């Protein structure tokens, strides 16, 4: 028997050669493992908490296709204003989403695993635990409650002050009040936590900047502790279509999930269970599959043994008769949004966008979007990679990320005639019902071959467009240069040759320069056409 | 002593008229192209190493048949083309106004006409281009380098430069000798009692020759080449030989470089392969030969690696394949020592004039 003498820790017992786990509260589990969730030090904690709250807000707005207006404020707590970092900070995040039903609000923020996201749906956070983790961390480090104000109609505003009962994973409501007013729906969260803004500020700013790059439809205001305002205006009214919730695809389903499903279900018909619980499984497919898996169609799925469950799951992974996952549930950014974000945040000379067709790995559909921004004054020299997964910027561990590897492998400046040191930004966005993160930290994506292939194809596509732009631009510059050089030297040659020959009038050579004006006009027209065509394609 | 007489006005003024016509023709060709909406271009022999060949008949390096075309339509050519056109114009002005200019002057003059040269080496190379195009040396365009050498001897000259036209001078009037500059280069030879020209590599020996009256004792015009002779000096030697029918003897240090100075006077340099009239094919190198070192028991200096490598380079040169030329190179290689003209001072200051010079001149008759 391994474990401590406290009643609710992990206990592993050996019974009949089978391992089983006694449960601990999810809150307690996360408290013990806060490093994994991105709260390893005061600087990272401040960044992660800000980010989780902002992402909750963005998700809330997008789920109802509302143009998000998010305002974020980080300030020193009154008591520790004059202390050195790390110290206590107050974070306030307010959105204009649809608000939270007051009956569910305490649980939504005070209970781990109580999000609206514990289903298969493309969303920024997974399982809705990020916001609660932030609150939990704040409570642990400051012993202060969190204040949540929410309104679903813009008329009734409900305010709660909560603490989390860590051991029992439930909210402790310290106070609640309701007031009437006139405003918009939405939610505001104010919490305290022990953080280090001095060390976190660069990451937090990067986070906002990159978020703005893929959410140009949002207006984001950020006021930092020194009172500086960072404003990211809304530059497009196009909101990505709200992601649709979807059932899991059999190819991605694992043993543990199947075990739980069979334990919970009331369905006694095997084919019906498959049809109800899985993505794109119809009557015929269910029958074909069960035959393939060597199950009698009349077997009661609730009664199969562990060994049979293993056989069932293995068969699910091997059977190739399932329809591929439907990408309807995915919400890629799309050309309009990427374009608006790139134009307003990076102000490049040229950009190209490639949106790949939907693909799937292990039964999870995904779409890769790659954009390339070239030149301009905002991107620095060299190559910058901006990685996004379900619209969340990934700021750490670029080198370990599959996108980082694809870029360093494919981006050969010479092959694509890209001038050395020319500013270049690569933007990769992967959206999926399940992002293949390599670690719990949600900072870099694993090298799934399907994903790698789509990233490569997307990057190649954008690079080819850039190459063709550069070569056209190069040829215009060459003609322009030619014209300038002729314009400079021919008059001199004319002058001296006239003097040498003793001719009475200057030679008529102007036609030689005019030819180049015509050529230039044709080329400029060509490149304008290309730009249009490129944009049309993407 | 009968003096040779020649009319002062002829050869050089004819050449001048010709030159002006060539330059005008060049300008007209460019003008006509432009006027008919064509990019002008010029063809001239390539000066690349591959196109420099030895002409056994002329006994000098000449340019082969490869041509380069410089066209104003080529973005890389139009700048040098413009520079070349300007230079032709500028040279016409120089010749017309009878003014001279140094290479450095040309570089600076360009700036008055919005012609850019990055540095003097660029303008020097355009000057060489123009020489190649019109097959005339820059000296005829009144463009001279800074380096100068000297001449002394009984030779009456008549100036043709502006302000001195018709004025005459005897080149033995001043014991330091006269600079071979633009005025002297363009002067006509009027009269001389000299029967030979002796070119020496060093100023010190030149002075010694004047002091020891070599010009009288040997009836010689003495020329100080000051090392490898400038082209004006080589042109002067050529004229002394051609116009006055004087044999030219060359005396250098006893090393591989001295031997090559003599060779350049006789048969020109690869760098001036585009030009004629700078060689004296009948010139004679009279010393100091490698074989003289032992013969006269001269004090020596050991040859270093660079010297030895130079000997090997020259042994591969087609001009060094016959007569004393390969023989002396081999001797240098054998003894691995060299000596300077001043080495004769070991035997007294006048030994070189009293003993060595007459002996070598005697030998030269059989060369």
Digit-coded pLDDT (tens) for B253-265: 999 999 999 999 9
Please give the Cα distance from B84 to A500 (Å, whole number).
Answer: 12
Chain B residue with Cα closest to A491: B82
Interface membership of B92 toward A (CB under 8 Å):
yes
Residues of chain A in contact with residue B79, where contact means CB-CB under 8 angstroms, are: 485, 489
Region A268-272: mean pLDDT is 92
ipTM over the 0.85 cut-off: no
Residue B354 included in any domain: yes
The number of beta carbons lying within 10 Å of the beta carbon of residue A231 is 12
Rounded to 5°, the CA angle A350-A356-A360 comes to: 150
Q: How far is A496 from chain B (nearest CA, A)?
A: 6
Facing residue for B31 by CB, picked from A481, A492, A507: A507
- Rounded Cα–Cα distance for residues B289 and B335 (Å): 12
| Greater pLDDT, B318 or A159 | A159
A503 contacts in chain B (CB < 8 Å): 28, 31, 35
Q: Are residues B247 and B231 in the same domain?
A: yes
For chain B, the domain total comes to 2
Is the domain of B194 the same as that of B136?
Answer: no
Q: Do residue B168 and residue B255 come from a single domain?
A: yes
Find residue B144's DSSP bridge partners. B102
**Which position among B31, B108, B235, B257 bears the catalytic label?**
B108
* One domain for residues B171 and B258: yes
Question: Residue ranges of the alpha helices (H) in A347-432?
Answer: 402-410
Closest chain B CA to residue A500? B27
Tell me what pLDDT residue B250 has: 96
In whole angstroms, give the CA distance from residue B180 to residue A223.
84
Residue A511 distance to chain B (closest CA, Å): 6
Which chain B positions have a beta carbon within 8 Å of A481's beta carbon?
75
Among the partner-chain residues B23, B32, B86, the one whose CB lies closest to the CB of A492 is B86
Which helix (H) or strand (E) segment is A508 a member of?
A: none
- Residue B21 belongs to domain with CATH number: 1.10.10.10
> With helix as H, strand as E and coil as C, how does A158-204 read?
EEEEEEEECCCCEEEEEEEEEEECCCCCEEEEEEEEEECHHHHHHHH
The rounded distance, in Å, linking the Cα atoms of B251 and B200 is 5
For residue A512, the chain B residues in CB contact (below 8 A) are 34, 37, 39
Given B144, B172, B190, the domain boundary residue is B144
Q: Do B35 and A496 touch (CB under 8 A)?
A: no
Give the global pTM: 0.61
- Please write the tens of the pLDDT for every residue from B160-215: 888 899 999 999 999 999 999 888 988 999 999 999 999 999 988 999 999 999 99
Q: Do B348 and B241 sit in the same domain of this protein?
A: yes
Q: Same structural domain for residues B94 and B209?
A: no
Does one domain contain both B156 and B140? Answer: no
CA nearest to A481 within chain B: B75
**A332-346, A393-407, B83-97, B309-323: lowest mean pLDDT where?**
A393-407
Decide if B108 is catalytic.
yes
Lowest mean pLDDT among A122-131, A429-438, B86-95: A122-131
Verify that B222 and B84 share a domain, yes or no: no
Contact assignment for B27 to A481 by CB distance below 8 Å: no
With a cut of 50, say whether residue A93 has pLDDT above it. yes
Full residue range of the structural domain in which residue B122 is found? 11-144
Kindly determine whether residue A503 and residue B28, on different chains, have CB atoms separated by under 8 Å. Answer: yes
Domain boundary among B110, B144, B178: B144
Residues B191 and B92 in one domain: no
Q: Is residue B4 part of a domain?
A: no
Tens digit of each residue's pLDDT (9 = 90 or more) over A40-90: 889 999 999 999 899 989 988 888 888 999 999 999 998 888 888 899 999
- What is the C-alpha R_g of chain B? 22
Of all residues in chain B, the percent with pLDDT exceeding 90 is 62
- Distance, in Å, from the CA atom of A220 to the CA atom of A57, rounded to the nearest integer, reads 11
Residue B53: strand pairing partners: B62
Distances (CA, A) of B50 to A129, A316, B61, B128, B154: 79, 76, 12, 17, 44
Token pair 């290309």 is at which residue? A530
Whether B75 and B179 share a structural domain: no
Gap between the Cα atoms of A217 and A344, Å rounded: 11
Partner-chain contact B34 A493, CB within 8 Å = yes
């Amino acid at each position: 028997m391994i474990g401590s003498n406290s009643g609710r820790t992990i206990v592993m017992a050996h019974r009949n050669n089978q391992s089983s786990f006694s449960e601990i509260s999810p809150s307690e589990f996360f408290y013990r493992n806060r490093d994994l969730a991105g709260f390893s030090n005061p600087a990272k904690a401040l960044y992660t908490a800000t980010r989780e709250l902002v992402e909750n807000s963005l998700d809330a707005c997008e789920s109802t296709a509302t143009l998000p207006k998010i305002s974020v404020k980080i300030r020193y707590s009154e008591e520790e204003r004059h202390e050195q970092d790390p110290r206590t900070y107050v974070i306030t995040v307010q959105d204009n989403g649809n608000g939270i039903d007051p009956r569910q609000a305490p649980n939504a923020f005070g209970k781990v695993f109580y999000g609206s996201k514990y289903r298969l749906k493309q969303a920024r956070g997974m399982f809705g635990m990020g916001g609660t983790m932030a609150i939990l961390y704040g409570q642990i480090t400051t012993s202060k409650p969190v204040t949540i104000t929410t309104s679903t109609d813009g008329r009734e505003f409900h305010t709660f002050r909560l603490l989390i009962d860590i051991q029992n994973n439930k909210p402790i409501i310290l106070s609640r009040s309701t007031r009437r007013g006139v405003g918009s729906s939405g939610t505001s969260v104010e919490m305290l936590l022990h953080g280090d803004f001095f060390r976190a500020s660069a990451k937090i700013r990067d986070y906002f900047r990159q978020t703005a790059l893929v959410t140009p439809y949002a207006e984001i205001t950020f006021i930092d502790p020194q009172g500086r305002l960072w404003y990211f205006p809304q530059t497009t009214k196009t909101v990505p279509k709200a992601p649709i919730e979807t059932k899991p695809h059999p190819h991605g389903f694992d043993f543990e999930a199947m075990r739980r499903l069979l334990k919970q279900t009331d369905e006694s018909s095997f084919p019906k269970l498959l049809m109800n619980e899985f993505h794109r499984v119809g009557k015929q497919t269910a029958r074909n599959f069960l035959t393939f898996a060597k199950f009698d169609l009349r077997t009661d799925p609730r009664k199969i043994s562990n060994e049979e469950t293993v056989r069932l799951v293995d068969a699910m992974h091997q059977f190739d008769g399932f329809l591929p996952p439907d990408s309807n549930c995915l919400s890629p950014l799309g050309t309009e949004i990427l374009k608006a974000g790139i134009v307003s945040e990076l102000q490049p000379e040229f950009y190209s966008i490639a949106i790949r067709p939907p693909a799937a790995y292990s039964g999870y559909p995904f779409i890769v979007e790659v954009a390339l921004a070239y030149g301009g004054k905002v991107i620095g020299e060299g190559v910058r990679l901006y990685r996004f997964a379900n619209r969340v910027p990934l700021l750490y561990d670029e080198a370990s990320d599959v996108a980082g590897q694809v870029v360093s492998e494919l981006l050969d400046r010479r092959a694509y005639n890209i001038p050395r040191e020319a500013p270049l930004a690569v933007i990769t966005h992967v959206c999926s019902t399940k992002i293949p993160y390599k670690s719990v930290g949600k900072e870099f994506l694993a090298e799934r071959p399907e994903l790698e292939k789509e990233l490569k194809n997307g990057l190649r596509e954008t690079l080819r467009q850039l190459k063709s732009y550069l070569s056209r631009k190069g040829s215009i510059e060459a003609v322009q240069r030619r014209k300038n050089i002729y314009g400079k030297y021919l008059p001199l040659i004319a002058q001296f040759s006239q003097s040498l020959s003793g001719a009475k009038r200057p030679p008529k050579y102007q036609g030689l320069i005019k030819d180049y004006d015509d050529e230039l006009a044709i080329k400029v027209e060509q490149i304008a056409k290309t730009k249009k065509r490129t944009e049309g394609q993407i | 002593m009968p003096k040779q007489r020649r009319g002062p006005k002829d050869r050089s003024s004819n050449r001048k008229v010709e030159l002006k016509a060539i330059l005008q023709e060049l300008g007209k060709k460019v003008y006509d192209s432009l006027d008919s909406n064509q990019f002008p271009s010029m063809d001239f022999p390539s000066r690349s190493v591959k196109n420099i060949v030895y002409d056994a008949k002329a006994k000098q390096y000449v340019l082969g048949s490869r041509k380069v075309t410089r066209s104003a339509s080529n973005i890389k050519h139009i700048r040098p083309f413009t520079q070349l056109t300007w230079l032709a114009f500028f040279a016409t002005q120089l010749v017309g106004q009878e003014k001279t200019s140094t290479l450095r002057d040309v570089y600076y003059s360009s700036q008055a006409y919005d012609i850019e040269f990055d540095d003097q080496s660029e303008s020097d190379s355009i000057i060489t281009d123009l020489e190649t195009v019109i097959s005339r040396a820059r000296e005829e365009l009144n463009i001279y380098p800074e380096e100068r050498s000297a001449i002394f001897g009984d030779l009456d000259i008549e100036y043709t430069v502006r302000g001195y036209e018709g004025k005459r001078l005897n080149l033995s009037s001043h014991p330091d000798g006269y600079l071979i500059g633009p005025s002297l280069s363009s002067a006509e030879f009027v009269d001389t009692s000299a029967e030979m020209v002796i070119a020496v590599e060093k100023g010190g020996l030149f002075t010694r020759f004047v002091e020891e009256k070599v010009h009288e004792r040997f009836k010689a015009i003495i020329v100080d080449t000051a090392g490898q002779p400038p082209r004006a000096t080589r042109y002067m030697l050529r004229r002394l030989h051609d116009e006055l029918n004087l044999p030219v003897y060359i005396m250098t240090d006893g090393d591989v470089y001295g031997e090559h100075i003599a060779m350049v006077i006789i048969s020109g340099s690869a760098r001036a392969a585009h030009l004629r009239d700078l060689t004296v094919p009948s010139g004679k190198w009279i010393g100091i030969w490698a074989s003289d070192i032992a013969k006269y028991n001269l004090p020596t200096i050991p040859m270093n690696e660079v010297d030895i490598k130079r000997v090997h380079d020259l042994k591969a040169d087609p001009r060094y394949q016959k007569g004393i030329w390969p023989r002396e190179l081999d001797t240098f290689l054998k003894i691995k020592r060299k000596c300077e003209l001043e080495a004769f001072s070991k035997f007294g200051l006048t030994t070189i004039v009293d003993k060595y010079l007459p002996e070598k001149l005697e030998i030269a008759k059989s060369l």
